[in-house]
Structure 1
Amino acid sequence: MALIAGKCPLDDDSGSRDPRKGVKYLVDTTPYMRVLPEEYVLPLQPKINRMSAGSAAIPVIDLSGLDGPVERRMMTAEAIASACAEWGFFRVINHGINASIMEEMLKVVDGFFNLTLEEKMKYASEDVMNPVRYGTSLNTSKPHALHWRDYLRHFGHPIHTSFHLWPQNPSNYRDVAKEYLEEIWKLALKISGGISKGLGLDWDYIEKSLGEGCQIMASNYYPPCPEPHKTLGLAAHSDHGGITILMQNEVDGLQVKHQEKWVAVQHLPGSLVVNIGDYIEILSNGKYKSVEHRAVVNETRTRISVAVGHGPEMTATVAPASPLVDEKSRIKYRPITYKDYMRAQQSSATRGKSPLQAIMTNNTPQKSSSIDSIPLS
């Protein structure tokens, strides 16, 4: 069964199985669910096994080095460069974000998803570019195989353009989200300096490339799933932006593709997970690759994650950095406006890196696992 586009009829007789009402509503209105509804069973071969993920760990980087003397700054930039080249993912500690605001952000996200369905549906939209959007499964409204996730997405920086549209409930949502997003934006710029230097560019090269910049927060809610081995919260994909900074509750679920194997990212209190997205792959002219990652679900516990993506302003032209292009390193990606690229990536009903492949100059497909190339149903 495919997800059906259109507004959710809240007062009809279709029952709780209308997928547009979301997986939390389904769980809340189906006591003692033991079998996964067939519309959520994904064509996964082999079935997902949480215990089969690799035991390797993504790099851990102490970001306090970026505030130290020149030598220590350079060592930290080198560590970031190594992590970007080898993994595309790393964990940061001593990042400067207070634990209290992180905890409050998780609380208001949990509070939002526990609002009534009618309240949440005020923010439902079919437009993937809507500045505030509540939905379920994948972001696209095109028909696709259903995933075990509800989400709230909205723009952050520049905050003045969308703050008035953010949810008013919970009552402190706007204030908490504003403080969190402002701090995360500063952190993203700090990390971008290390990435720039690792590429052999000026410390502020990426920051300048962003212009006014664009920040999008995706809060994800994965309720307990009766048969988690038969579905996914989110299929394998890369992010459209430059840098994504992820926070989650204590329930694991993130997996990263590394050397063609899935690696589970274990929760570490107080840390944040950073990954590079398609924008950095393009800007680096392919030196750094955006990495596919996915979310698996839990049989007994709810997982909450808050992912904040950072990219250039919507009108910016996305293209390789000119210092990284020469006779030996030809341009590998065709220029495109960030808004057009984001719309294409967010509208895709298949996961993987197909939107990025579409703008590669040689158009050579990158290998994608059949497990995670979820087809239309």
Structure 2
Amino acid sequence: MVGRMRESSASANGSFTSAMTLVEKGLTYVPKRYVLPPSLRPDGTLCDTCLPIVDLSNRQHPLLRSQIIQDVHLACKKFGFFQVVNHGIPLSVMDNAIDAASEFFDLPTQDKRHLLSSNVCDPVRYGTSLNHVKDKVHFWRDFLKHYANPTSTWIDLWPSNPKCYKKKMVNYTMAAQKLQEELMEVIFESLGLNTNYLHEDIAEGSQVMAVNCYPACPEPDLTLGLPPHTDYGMISIILQNHQGLQMMGRDEKWHSVPLIEGALAVLLGDHMEVLTNGIYKSVVHRATVNSEKKRISIVSLHSLALGKKVRPASDLVNEQNILSYKEGGFSDFLDFISGEDIVEAKYIDTLKINT
């Protein structure tokens, strides 16, 4: 894998210009390749519905846990999204992760270029937009993605510059993995499944850290940091230092996710939709940009291990809820995005059974 990463980096280097580089040049306009068609641009129209917040402080309390289960069920059913507070990850650990990410993106391009890759299978890759080599329209984002679970397998491949990166990011990564395991138990319980359902597969599953930088943009109304999309996995846990995440409600209206100190956003992914046989749906979301601040988001993407398949839970398939999805896995998703434009095609559609 590492050899392939270096090879793909070399082939991609020639045409690479990061979003951070454009900002450093002092551009007062958005280059043409970043200008979205009018139908995809953020128009500022947002729904003011209050989004669900789940307090996890009593998740181990035998009498009070039931309220959390109910809150999670309603949030998953209505939105496919909720924020969690009192989740057990110290604020200092989250702040350190944001600081490490910010320091990485502030490095000169030549200090990050060796990680540059357009190969979605590489375990560590740096890039811009979605895939700057093949994107028809670019997005105002630089990213670093790396595998994380178990950290002992992958940490040596993570950036060594800045020097603080591994130390600060590993603490948050491991905490996010632990939180994900607890959240999956709560979600399974909200579906009437055993809390130990897929326990080993969840603990040994894939964790990909998508570390995103959205620089201040001179014309934020013309572009996006990321287009509307769903995540492929079971759940995604999102840490952000500034507001910019927006999710689409079942009413097909956009909601801005508020920035709450210490809170983490939890989004359901395509594989959760498959596992629940459509009882819970993955949530469409996007990243907006602003003209004043660089925004950092750290997304902990969780799915089963690369070679494992997710299929609808047998207890959730019956005459009233007939089998509606084929099995799929992380490797299938990588194959999909290698050949498809996610702006135009949806991975979840490949997993639906036409009835």
The offset of 1:143, in angstroms, is: 3.4
Alignment-derived partner of residue 7 in structure 1: 12
Q: Helix, strand or coil: the match of 1:145?
A: coil
CA RMSD in angstroms comes to 1.8
Is residue 151 of structure 1 aligned with residue 143 of structure 2?
Answer: yes
TM-score, normalised relative to structure 1: 0.87
* Alpha-carbon contact 1:42-1:230 (below 8 Å) kept: yes
Q: Helix, strand or coil: the match of 2:112?
A: helix
Matched ranges for 1:1-377 at <5 A: 6-9=11-14, 20-29=16-25, 31=26, 33-45=27-39, 47-50=41-44, 52-69=45-62, 71-139=63-131, 141-210=133-202, 212-249=204-241, 251-258=242-249, 259-345=251-337, 348-351=340-343, 354-362=346-354
Note the alpha carbon deviations across 1:239-290, whole angstroms, 9 max, x for none: 01111110111x2111110111000111111111111111110000000000
Q: Write the letter of the residue equivalent to 1:160.
A: S
* Alpha-carbon contact 1:211-1:313 (below 8 Å) kept: no
* Alpha-carbon contact 1:139-1:346 (below 8 Å) kept: no
Alignment-derived partner of residue 4 in structure 2: none
Q: Helix, strand or coil: the match of 2:209?
A: strand
* Alpha-carbon contact 1:240-1:345 (below 8 Å) kept: no
The offset of 1:327, in angstroms, is: 3.4
Q: Helix, strand or coil: the match of 2:239?
A: strand
Equivalent-residue separation in structure 2 for 1:67 and 1:176 (angstroms): 28
* Alpha-carbon contact 1:40-1:145 (below 8 Å) kept: yes
Q: Helix, strand or coil: the match of 1:299?
A: coil
Note the alpha carbon deviations across 1:163-200, whole angstroms, 9 max, x for none: 11000011011111111111110100111111001111
**Structure 1 residues 316-325 or 192-201, which shifts more?**
316-325
Q: Write the letter of the residue equivalent to 1:7.
A: A
**Structure 1 residues 202-211 or 288-297, which shifts more?**
202-211
Equivalent-residue separation in structure 2 for 1:114 and 1:131 (angstroms): 22
Equivalent-residue separation in structure 2 for 1:87 and 1:360 (angstroms): 20
Q: Helix, strand or coil: the match of 1:7?
A: helix
Alignment-derived partner of residue 6 in structure 2: none
Note the alpha carbon deviations across 1:202-227, whole angstroms, 9 max, x for none: 01214344362110011111111111
The offset of 1:150, in angstroms, is: 0.4
Equivalent-residue separation in structure 2 for 1:49 and 1:128 (angstroms): 31
The offset of 1:342, in angstroms, is: 3.7
**Structure 1 residues 82-91 or 343-352, which shifts more?**
343-352
Q: Write the letter of the residue equivalent to 1:39.
A: R
* Alpha-carbon contact 1:238-1:352 (below 8 Å) kept: no
Equivalent-residue separation in structure 1 for 2:343 and 2:81 (angstroms): 19
The offset of 1:21, in angstroms, is: 1.9
* Alpha-carbon contact 1:255-1:265 (below 8 Å) kept: yes
Equivalent-residue separation in structure 2 for 1:130 and 1:305 (angstroms): 21
Runs (4+) off by over 4 Å: none
* Alpha-carbon contact 1:44-1:231 (below 8 Å) kept: no
Q: Kindly tell me: are residues 215 and 116 of structure 1, through their superposed partners in 2, closer, same or farther at Cα, counting changes over 3 Å?
A: same
Q: Write the letter of the residue equivalent to 1:344.
A: F
Equivalent-residue separation in structure 2 for 1:81 and 1:357 (angstroms): 24
The offset of 1:42, in angstroms, is: 0.7
Q: Write the letter of the residue equivalent to 2:33.
A: E
**Percent identical:** 36
Which ranges of structure 2 fall in alignment gaps of 5 or more residues?
1-9
TM-score, normalised relative to structure 2: 0.93
* Alpha-carbon contact 2:234-2:268 (below 8 Å) kept: yes
Note the alpha carbon deviations across 1:49-99, whole angstroms, 9 max, x for none: 33x211112100001121212x21122111111100001110100000001
* Alpha-carbon contact 1:140-1:348 (below 8 Å) kept: no
